[in-house]
Amino acid sequence: MSKATIKDVARVAEVSLKTVSRVINNEPTVKEATRKKVLQAIEELRYQPDMSARNLRGNKSYAIALVYDNPNPYYVVDVQEGVLQACRELGYSLQIHPCNANDGDIVEELAELVRNSRLAGLVIAPPISEDDRVTDALYEQGIHLVRIISASKAPDGASPAVYVNDRAAAHAVTDHLIHKGHNNIAFLWGEEEHHSSGERFAGYRAALEEHGIPVQDSLVIEGSYSFDSGFQRANTLLSGDTPPSAIFGCNDEIAAGALAAAKSLGLRVPEDVAIAGFENSPFSKHAQPPLTTAAQSLGDIAKKAMMLLVSELRPQAVDGESASERKSEFIPELIARASTSAEAR
């Protein structure tokens, strides 16, 4: 017979995972009738909580870790600054923990981090945050966490989350290119393991379909979130017999690489090919010409994530609205710049 989990207890008691966790940790906010239901389910299932995690949660730690696996230094710095700002305002210290999202022992690594560093909780960035296997396993051990993920609607799951609606923003970028007269727009993916890649592609595809423009497989190229990958893919496309009139890079690094490829071939941007990116990083601001992009305020996103986490740990420490909020949406905003300013010919 398999060992009962916290999910089993929640199912039998007909309550949320968070409620079971609160009962296990003797939190006073649970109604007595609900507490009895959960305790009865625990007894019936012979569920045994992870005592090390339970004890950790009772020690009133004021230390948080930011967990990430992202080689983009601009992303990491902006997210770190956002979390750090909230930590300073709320009296928490911050520990930075880079790791490998594909490591088979990632759950054990993060659980050990929480125990050994006596952390109050984790702020987890993509792509680790988008792996339900990891976040569910951590939450089941009683570890407080908040996820930053790419999604077009509020995600499932018991843990709080900040979700970035990349799909809506990518739709806006593609729609902008279409209104400039482009109907053969290339799309350069980022890594598939990042939900942002699929969400941004979905927005691109939806915008094309709304305008009756078919998605051309030859113009949708897989790759990575890097300058070199953008350069190589754009160079191949623009050197072909039927080059696209516009390129949408899945992030600004890809788009900057595409811009360099266009210039190396003697093409003018935007007169010969329009180029757009995503994220509003320094790659887009300092390019010549500056790149059209979708601006996502990583600092604000990360700060909000920290606020949601603290609302779990100490509801009294945040304002009333934040204390009751569990899922928060951000939609990156289109910024039209010179790289797409010309009309398609």
68: domain range? 56-164+297-330
Rounded Cα distance, 114 and 12, in Å: 29
Kind of pairing between the strands at 333-335 and 293-295: antiparallel
210 lies in the same domain as 188: yes
Q: Residue 343 has what pLDDT? A: 75
Domain finish residue from 30, 49, 68: 49
At residue 345 the predicted structure's pLDDT band, cuts being 50, 70 and 90, is low
In b/e form, how buried is each residue of 105-128, taking b as 16+ CB within 10 angstroms? ebbeebbebbbeeebbbbbbbbbb
Residue 278 lies in a domain: yes
Written as six digits, the tokens of 269 are 């941007």
Contact assessment for residue 148 and residue 155, using Cβ atoms and an 8 Å cutoff: no
pLDDT tens figures, 13-47: 998 877 887 777 666 667 888 888 888 888 888 88
Paired tokens of 116: 């050994």
Give backbone dihedrals phi and psi of 121, rounded to 5 degrees, phi first: 180, 180
| Residue 309, in any domain of the structure | yes
Is 345 within a domain? no
Residue with tokens 């070199």: 228
Q: Dump pLDDT digits (tens) for 159-198.
A: 899 999 999 999 999 999 999 999 999 999 999 989 999 9
CB atoms within 10 A of CB 271: 12
Extract the tokens encoding 108.
């054990």
Shared domain for 255 and 210, answered yes or no, is: yes
For residue 216, name the pLDDT band (cuts at 50, 70, 90): very high
1 located within any domain: no
CA–CA separation, 196 vs 299, rounded Å?
Answer: 17
Q: Could you give the number of structural domains in the chain? A: 3
3 state SS of 27 = coil
Residues 275 and 173 in one domain: yes
Note the pLDDT tens digit of each residue in 77-121.
Answer: 999 999 999 998 888 999 999 999 888 899 999 999 999 899 999
Structure tokens at 23: 């009962």
Domain of 178: which CATH number? 3.40.50.2300
CATH number at residue 30: 1.10.260.40
